[in-house]
Structures are given as C-alpha cells and as structure tokens.
Amino acid sequence: MYILSRTEEMLLISVWKLQDEAYGLSIRTHFSELVGKEMSVGATYIPLERLKKQGFLESWESEPTEKRGGRSKRFYRLTAEGINALSRVKSIHDRAWTGLPNLIFNKSE
Amino acid sequence: MSIYKSSNVIIRVLEWLLPSDMTHLIGDLEEELYNDLERYSALQAYLLFLYRCTVSIPLFLYQSLKWNVVMITNYIKVALRNIKKYKSFSVINVLGLAVSISICLLIILFIYDQKNYDRFHEDKDRIYRITSEFKSSGNFSTHRYATSPANLVDILREDYPSVETATTIRRRIGGEADAGGKVIRVNGLYGDSNFLDVFSFDLLLGDPESALSNPGSIILSKETADKFFGSQDPIGEEFRIIGRGDFVITGVIDTDVRSHLTFDVLASYSTLLSNEQYRSIYIDNWRNSFYSSYTYFKLKKNADIEDLAVQLPGLIETHYDSTPESYLAEFIIQPLTKINIGDSMDNQLGSVMPRLPVYFLIGFAGIIIFVACFNYVGLTVARGLSRGKEVGVRKALGANKGSVVGQFLIEAILIALFSLVFASVFLIYLLPEFNDLQFIRMELTRGISFDIVKDYPVYISFLSFTVIVGLLAGLFPALHLSSIKSAIVLKGLENKKGISKSHIRKGLVVIQFVFSLVFIITALFLNRQFNQFLNAEYGFDAEHIIQLELQDMPYDRVKTWMLGNPNVASVSGTSVVPALNSRSDRRISSDQIEYDAEANHFSVDEEYIPNMKLNLVAGRNFSADLATDVNGPFILSRKAVADLGYSSPQDAVGKYVAFSDSTYPVIGVIEDFVSSDITVETEGVMMQYQPEYIETASIKVLPGQLATVTNYINEEWDDLGSQYSARYAFYTDQLGETYSLLLFNDLAQVVKSVAFFSILISCLGLFGMAMFNAESRTKEIGIRKVMGASDRDIVFLLSKEYLLLIAISIAISLPLTYLFNSFLLQQVANRIELSPLVFLAGIFVTLVLALITAGSQSLRAAKANSIDNLRFE
C-alpha cells in the first residue's frame, strides 16, 4: 500500500481545506502556513503534479483573469482515491498517537 | 514603474523557458507580485518576486530538462544503433554529405574571410569612402567609379562640421626602387598626413604625426623594409623610385592585416602637391582629378551620415557644369566595411571581390548540398519499411508524432556531424586548389589564409551550418516516417508502396541526374570554348613576335639596336599591344551617323601593319616619307568603317572623320582584328602614325631564333642606358594569359568541379538505392533463378528501372542544358557551335557511370547463391 509522504499529505490537506479555492498560489500559501516556512513554487508544484499523476488529485484550468497577466489558474480537487488516501493517513496518525504521553506537557516543563 | 517593467522581462524569460502547460505558474507568480505591491513598497514587492523566482527556477528547469535529456540521450542511442546497423547506407550518406559540406565550408570560409576585410580599423563604423557615378549621354549608361575628385577632401574637412577627419589617397606610385643597394619592383599609394588618423594601420617605426607630412617622405611596409634593409633600421635612409624621384624613409608600417588597401610603399601626398605643374593639371582641375584619387573620411561620433549625404549633390552643381557628353551624376557614400565584398566599380583600389562571383559560388554550393540532401532523403525513405516497424512500435507504446520526428531529425543531424569531421579533412585539400583560382589570385592577391581558421566564429558557423544541413536532409523523412499509422505497419505492411514512397525517391534521382548532366555538358562546352579562344583567329600573326616595352628609351634607338641583330626580321612599334585586354577606346564621328562611334586607338609606325600581317583592304599604309602622315590621317578597320556609316572600305577612303576637336582624312582600311579582348565582339580600330607615342616595340624574329634574341636583349639592354631593367614577353604566351581568358578558365574550372561532385554524389545515391532494391528483392531473385532465369535476365530486370530514370533525366536536361549554354555562350564572342556530339559525350559519360554503379549491385544480387536467398529471413 502506498503511504503518502509528509509533503504530499500536507498538500492534500491544503487542497481539501481550500475546497473550491484550491489553485497554485492559494495552495502554496496555505501549505507554507502549515509547515511554517515559505515553500518555493517548484517545491509545491512538482509534488502536486505527481499526486495528480498518481490519481489522488485532478485539476482544471480557470478562465484567464486580468490580475494574472491574462493567464489562467490551475485548480486542484481531491479524487475519491485522494480522499481515501488522506483518510487512511489520518487513521494511521490517530492510531499511532493514541495512548502516548502528552508531548506538549513535557516540552513546557 | 520601471520595477514592474523589469519583472516583465523575467516573466518573458520564464514564458520562454517553461512548457506551455505550465504558464499558470507564471500567473501565480504574477498574482503574488500584484498582492505584494498592495501590501509593501514596490521595491520590497519586487525583491520578494525576484527571490521567489530564483528559488523556483532551478526546480522548474531541472524538471523540464531532465526528461528532455533522457529523451535526447535515448534518441542518440537509437540513432547510433541505426547508423551502425545499416553501415553501407550510413557510409554513403556520410560521404556524400561530407563532400558537399566541405565545399560549403570552403565558401563559408571564403565569405567570412572577405567580410573580415577592414574590420581592424578602430572606428570602422564611422569611416566612409566617397565614390562617383557618371552618366554618358549617348547610350545613357552609367559608370560607377571608386574614385572621386582630388580636392573633395579639402571641402569635406573645411565645410562639413560633421566630418571628424578626412584623407585622400592617390594611386599609382611604383616601379623599380633602388635602395639599400638593391633594386626591386614596388607598388604603392600616395597618402596625406591624415592617413593614420582615419585608418588604424600600425606604424611600427617613425612618428605618426609627421611621417607623411613633408614632400619626399615615404613609409615602407614591414615586408618591403625587410627586403631592402633586412634587420637594419631604415628610418632616414634614402629610397629612390626610378622615374619618380628620391624619397626619405620616415616610417615602417604593418600591412599584414586584411584591408582592401594594399601597398608596398606609401608616399606623402604633399610630394604631388609640391609639383606645381602636376598639381594644376591633375589635382586642382575638377574635370581631370577624379580618375586616381580616393576620398575617405571619418564621421564625428553621433553625427548622422544621412545629413551629410543630402548635402553632397550641391557640390557637383558648384564645381561641374553638366555637359551633354559625360557628366558626374552623383556622389555615393560607401561605408568602409562594405567595400569588400562590394559593388563592382571602375578604378577600384586594391583588392576587392565583386558580389557576382560570390553569388555564383553560393549558388553552386547550394546545388551540391541539395544533391547530397536528396541522397539522404531517398535512402532514408527507402528504408522506411524496416524503420516503419520501429515507428509503429514506438507509437503503439505511446510516442507522439513530435517525438518520432525528433528521433529522425536527431539521426540526420548526427549523420551530418559525422560528415563534418570528414568534410574538415577534405577542406584541407580543397583550400589550396581554391586559392589557385585566378580570380582569387588576381582580385585578392592573397586568397583565404589559414589564419582565420583560428577564429572561433568560423567554427560556430561551421557547426550551425552542419546542423541546418542535417535538419534540411532529415525534415522530409522525419515528417513522412512519423506519419506512418502504427496499426497499418504492425498488422502486416500492406501499404508498402506508400511507406517507401518510391515515386518521390525516383523523382529525387531524376533531379540529381538532371543537375549532373547539365553541369557535365556545360563543363564540356566551356572547355571547348576555352580551346576555341586559344586557337581563334586574331586577325594578325603573333608567331615569332617579342613585345619589348620601351620604358624610358626612345623608339628609334631601340629599333636600330634590335635591327642590328641578324636574327631579327623586322621591328614595328605601337602604343597599345592588341588583344591583351587594354582598352583605348575613343569617340569618333562622321557626317553619316547621328551619335558618336567608338574605336580603339593605336599609335603606330609605318612598319606595324606589314609586321603584324594585318590585311590592308583599301587605300594605303602610312608612309615615313610623307611628313603629312605624322599625327594626321587615319587607317580604320572594317568594323570602324561600318560603325561610321560608310557602305564599303573603298567608300571610306578619302573621307574626313571627326576626332577630338578636329577632322582627319581616312587613307586606308584594314581587315578587322582582335584589338582588345578575344572574348568580346569585334571592336572598331583607328590607327594614327605617331612614332612619339609608341610604348612597345613588336619585334619579329626569324623562326627558331626566339632564345638567341632574348639573350641579345638581356645582355645588351643595359648598354642602351635605360634606368630600368628590360621588360619583354613572347606575344603568343601573353595572348594565352590575358585576364579575360584566365577568368573564363576559372569559370570552366568551377563548373567542372561542380559537375564532378554532383555526379559523384548522385552516383553514390544511385549505388545505395540499387543496393537497397537488390536487398529487398532477394527472395524474388532467388525464386526467379530457381525457375531458370539467367544472371543476365536478373541484371537487366534490376537495372532497367534505373535506365528509365536516367532516360527521363536526359530528356529533361537536354533542353535545359541547351538553353543554359546558349545563354552562357551568348556572353562571349568567337562562340563555338553547340555541337550535338558534346551532348552525346555528356550523356555517354553519365550513362556509363550510372550503369556501373547500379549494375554492380544488380550483378552482385544476380550472382548470389539462390539457396541462400531463399533461406533469407
């Protein structure tokens, strides 16, 4: 079974979160906020396209807008497979984290 | 908003770099910049944008390049496999392309070299020359001269503030120079004190400010200085040019540069100005002064040449009153760097290659490269059957048309690059041959040097040219083979004909052979025409004649001296030696004609007509006994008589002919003879009895005594008291080496090489085609032989297709060749007939070569063991 990488996971989460507003720039902004550092265009775009190729995402181009120098946006959306993969990751996480001592408590000490 | 603009540049670059399906990313970047602009200052936003681009671009590039590299490596790998697998085809293609590429490299080298002339001058883009255009009223023809009036330079300097500096050059100083204890011939120019301000020649010794200032100063080229003085310092030494005077050497200059200005010595222009008489006739007189003076000037920085150009016509009006005869129509400004390769002009200075021969060479090279590309196209398409399978599989596995096209183009380029390697080797052998051509030697005096091979742009142009050839050759096969439908090929090759495109291949073979035939037959005709010139009737007897230049000796003295030798039959004198391309045409007129006629003028003595065996058809010869004959009456040629409108030679005798400002009676008429050029139509001739204008003694020697007489001249010339050494030549030798004949011979040589290479390449292609054909019919041949066909039947079967193609080529090329040659030969006089025998000879040569190449492969196929044939596959 294919396990998503952390980047891929974060990207899928971003797309899921943004729903109808998930296109290149907004995904990257959200993704950067999630990981806490500015991600480059390449670092976002390449895994996005990979996810698309693997069938977790699908994309379409919007009508061109003036603000973008007449260029279109590429919107992404999770496929059923993508949603599956994401929920699978979440369940793995949940399983892995249940019953562990509280990290935050320890750290604040 | 300049920041926004520069971000635009980056966006353009990205657009260019990224594949089209990634443009939305640029949109993202732009949108973010837009957002940032609202939030931060413009500079900050721009810096952020820049930062984002710099961190993103490497990843993009990596992504887009990685797959391209993988694909291209794969293409190259497959291409190399294919080249290896079909060795014979590859060899044929590489050889054919190598030969043609080497010819093109030669032409590229030649043009590059020529274009490099005068590029070393510092301000080359601001230096110009003024040339003059003349119109003559009679036939409204225009003549363009590289020269301009001598005093134009002063006007430029004084009246035109946009001119930074200007210099004048006057040609014709030279002859035998006596210095450092040696006597050597030199050629040179006069230059004024601004010469070194305009041009960037390197003065090795001497003071650039004063070297050309004073009368009697002279600068030697490094080479000349070495010849006369070796390693000694020549500055301040005396330098005597016999007949021109004594000079003092004030400098040594480096002339080992590529410039249209070529000279051994450069004398100060003030030397000419200091001669009052010369100055008033040849320099200050605006009518006389433009035949030998050249005006160069340097424009000020930021000045516009157009502003200057519009002011020049006014000059002509002030200094010339235009007369109906011949007048200066226009001054034309010519940029220094456009002089070579440039417009062809009269009175050209130094070595300048005119455009026409260059275009010819490019045309010939183009034909050869096309013939070679046809080979590649034909052979590659022929292999379409086997390659078709490959394409089918590729496509079935998901290759799109573009990648298949790429694959075939890469293969073609690889073949072309292989050819380049061989072509470079051929080039080393071709270069000396090319430099040996007369027009290269005469017009350039230097030819292509190996030096420029050090220049890297040459290599870049070689490489890019080769890649273009590869693309050219590969384009059609690539488009054709990539359009193969994989289903059809993989199912079972029912559409064989369509894939191997046999009619296109045949068409290519036909075109190749048409070219070859046209050039072979033309080469044969040109060769015959050349021989025709050599053996043509000149209308005079050149046998046993020595032409001796008088130089500073009086004619009478030389005549008596020569007649003192018992082996000399007779001696006559003339101002111009006929048929050696020196033209001396003057205008003459009669009451019979409206416009002036032209005739070549000869000043002769009374012996000239009998001595040269010219035929007097009416009237009488000049007589030494009649004082009135001197400087007076004319003897005309038959053509001149006709041009003047007289009905017959007898009719003309006794009539008066207008010449210069006077009229002269005609006392005799001679048969036409070649007066200036064997390759042009007969020109009219006029002779006057003017012993004082004689420049050459034509000495008739008893048969078999040429050597004894030349010995006599060599031994005794010095005793006559001339300052010069003896200059003489055998007339028959001179006639065979005239400029026009040598040029014609060059044309013949070039066409011959084109014919040779085009038939060679065509036969290579035919060879490949025949080999392919025999291979693809192996089974058929096997079965035929088993069923009882003889070897001869098989050879005939396989060859007849090619015979048909050659027959079609012959049918097409015959009318073409006829038209082409009639046109070519129309340009010369003393034409040969377009004899059918020559056509037959050309056809025969082509047929034999084609039969040998195609037949050899057919024979090999026929001789093969039929059992092996049938086991095949």
pLDDT per residue over B476-521, tens digit each? 999 888 887 777 777 765 555 556 677 888 899 999 999 999 999 9
**What's residue B574's pLDDT?**
95
Shortest Cα–Cα distance, A25 to chain B (Å): 5
Q: What confidence score (pLDDT) does residue B205 get? A: 92
State whether residue B631 is helix, strand or coil. Answer: coil
Determine the pLDDT at residue B108: 87
> What residue numbers bound the domain in which A78 lies?
6-96
Q: Given an 8 Å threshold on Cβ–Cβ distance, is B31 in contact with A40?
A: no
Mean pLDDT over B65-84 rounds to: 83
Task: Please give the DSSP secondary-structure letter assigned to residue B398.
Answer: T
Nearest to B273 by CA among B188, B170, B197: B170
- Across the range B728-745, mean pLDDT stands at 88
Q: What is the mean pLDDT of residues B751-758?
A: 92
| CATH number of the structural domain spanning residue A54 | 1.10.10.10
**Which positions in chain A have a beta carbon within 8 angstroms of at least one beta carbon in chain B?**
23-25, 28, 40-43, 45-46, 61, 64, 67-69, 71-74
Contact B633, B681 (CB under 8 A): no
Q: What is the mean pLDDT of residues A67-96?
A: 86
What confidence tier does B11 reach under pLDDT thresholds 50, 70, 90?
confident
* pLDDT for the residue B865: 75
Please indicate, yes or no, if residue A72 is contained in any of the structural domains: yes
Q: Which residue of A has its CA nearest to B54?
A: A40
| Phi, psi dihedrals of residue B427, rounded to the nearest 5° | -60, -40
Rounded to the nearest angstrom, the gap between the alpha carbon of residue B14 and the centroid of all alpha carbons in its chain is 46
Q: What band does B747 get if pLDDT is binned at 50, 70 and 90? A: confident
Query: Is A71–B58 a contact, with Cβ atoms under 8 angstroms apart?
Result: no
The pLDDT of residue B226 is 92
The one-letter code for the residue type at B518 is V
Cis bond leading into B341, ω under 30°? yes
Task: Please tell me whether residue B838 adopts helix, strand or coil conformation.
Answer: helix
What residues of chain B lie within 8 A of the CB of A75, using their CB?
Answer: none
Q: How far is CA B122 from the centre of its chain?
A: 28
Determine, yes or no, domain membership for A47: yes
Is the pLDDT at B468 greater than 50? The verdict is yes
Beta bridge partner(s), residue B688:
B603, B634
Residue B413's pLDDT is: 93
Chain A CB contacts of B24 under 8 Å are: 23-24, 61, 71-74
Phi, psi of B789 (to 5 degrees): -70, 145
Interface with B, mutate which of A30, A41, A61, A72 (most B CBs under 10 A): A41
Q: What is the C-alpha to C-alpha distance for residues B349 and B362, in angstroms, rounded to an integer?
A: 25
- Looking at residue B444, its pLDDT comes to 46
Q: Write down the pLDDT at residue B63.
A: 65
Question: Is residue A1 situated within a structural domain?
Answer: no
* Beta carbons of B31 and A68 less than 8 Å apart: yes
Look up residue B647 and give its two tokens: 């009905």
Q: What is the mean pLDDT of residues A9-36?
A: 88
Is residue A103, in this structure, part of any structural domain at all?
A: no
Residue B492 confidence (pLDDT): 63
For CA atoms B111, B112, B114, B118, give the dihedral sign.
positive
CA atoms of B273 and B275, how far apart (whole Å): 5
Of A28, A40, A69, the CB nearest to B11: A69
Tell me the torsion sign for CA atoms B62, B68, B74, B80.
Answer: negative
B626-633 average pLDDT score: 89
Q: Which range has the worst mean pLDDT, B38-47, B158-167, B810-819?
A: B38-47
- Chain B residues with CB within 8 Å of chain A CB: 11, 22-32, 34, 52, 55-60, 63
Structure tokens at B63: 């992504």
Q: Tell if the CB–CB gap between B59 and A23 is shorter than 8 Å.
A: no
For B234-262, write each residue's pLDDT tens digit.
999 999 998 888 999 999 999 888 888 88
**3-state helix vs strand vs coil in chain B, percent to 5:** 55, 15, 25
Measured in angstroms, the CA of A72 and the nearest CA of chain B are apart by 6
Q: Which of A40, A61, A71 sits opposite B30 (nearest CB)?
A: A71
Beta strand pairing status for B597-604 and B685-689? Answer: parallel
Q: Specify the 3-state DSSP secondary structure of A54.
A: helix
Q: A93-107, B124-138, B456-470, B736-750 — which is least confidently predicted?
A: A93-107
Query: What CA–CA distance (Å, rounded) separates B860 from B842?
Result: 27
Closest residue on chain A to B25 (Cα): A24
Mean pLDDT of chain B: 86
Q: How far apart are the first and last CA of chain A?
A: 39
Q: Is the predicted pLDDT of residue B297 greater than 90, yes or no?
A: yes
**What pLDDT digit, counting tens, does each position of B63-74 carry?**
667 767 888 888
Backbone angles phi, psi at B319, to 5 degrees: -105, -15
CA-nearest residue of chain B to A25?
B28
Burial class (CB in 10 A: 0-12, 13-18, 19+), B350: buried
B57-61, B265-269, B297-301, B556-560 — which is least confidently predicted? B57-61
pLDDT at B139 over 80: no
| DSSP tag of B627 | G
For position A5, what pLDDT does the model report?
84
* Averaged pLDDT, B586-593: 86
Out of B23, B59, B60, the one facing A71 most closely (by C-beta) is B23
Q: Which tokens go with A1?
A: 């079974």
CA-to-CA distance for B668 and B662, rounded, in angstroms? 19
Taking the C-alpha atoms of residue B372 and residue B375, their distance in angstroms, rounded to an integer, is 5
Chain A: residue whose CA lies nearest to B52: A40
Answer yes or no: is A106 within a domain: no
Residues of A whose CB is below 8 A from B25: 24, 41, 45
Q: From B30, which residue of chain A is nearest by alpha-carbon distance?
A: A68
Instruction: Count the neighbouring beta carbons within 10 Å of the beta carbon of residue B154.
Output: 12
Structure tokens at A9: 């996971």
Per-residue pLDDT, B381: 85
| Residue A107 is assigned to a structural domain of this protein | no
| Domains of chain A: total | 1
Contact B730, B546 (CB under 8 A): yes
Is residue B291 predicted with pLDDT exceeding 70? yes
3-class secondary-structure state, position B279: helix
pLDDT > 70? residue B19: no
CA B140 to the chain's CA centroid: 28
Chain B residues with CB inside 8 Å of A64's CB?
Answer: 27
Q: Which of B23, B28, B34 sits opposite A41 (nearest CB)?
A: B28
Q: Within a 13 Å sphere around the CA of B53, how many CA atoms are in the beta-carbon half?
A: 23
pLDDT at B324: 45
Q: Band of the pLDDT at B577, cuts 50, 70, 90?
A: very high
CB B800 within 8 A of CB B505: no
Name the percent of chain A in helix, strand, coil, to the closest 5: 65, 10, 25
State the complex-level ipTM.
0.78
Residue B741's pLDDT is: 87
For residues B69-83, average pLDDT = 86
C-alpha distance from A21 to closest chain B C-alpha (Å): 13
- Asked if residue A76 is part of any domain, the answer here is yes
* B403 pLDDT above the threshold of 60: yes
Q: Does A71 sit within 8 Å of B27, measured CB to CB?
A: yes
Query: Coil, strand, or helix at residue B327?
Result: strand
Beta carbons of B239 and B218 less than 8 angstroms apart: yes
The residue that leads in pLDDT, B373 or B457, is B373
State the average pLDDT over residues B386-401.
81
CA distances (Å), origin B146, targets B75, B235, B282, B355, B497: 56, 33, 17, 15, 61
Q: Do B34 and A67 touch (CB under 8 A)?
A: yes
Q: Whole-angstrom Cα distance, residue B410 to residue B417?
A: 10
Q: Residue B867: enclosing H or E segment and its boundaries? A: helix B866-871
Is the CB of residue B666 less than 8 Å from the CB of residue B619?
A: yes
Is the residue at A102 inside a domain?
no
Do residue A42 and residue B58 have CB atoms under 8 angstroms apart? yes
CA distance linking residue B22 with residue A49, whole number of Å: 11
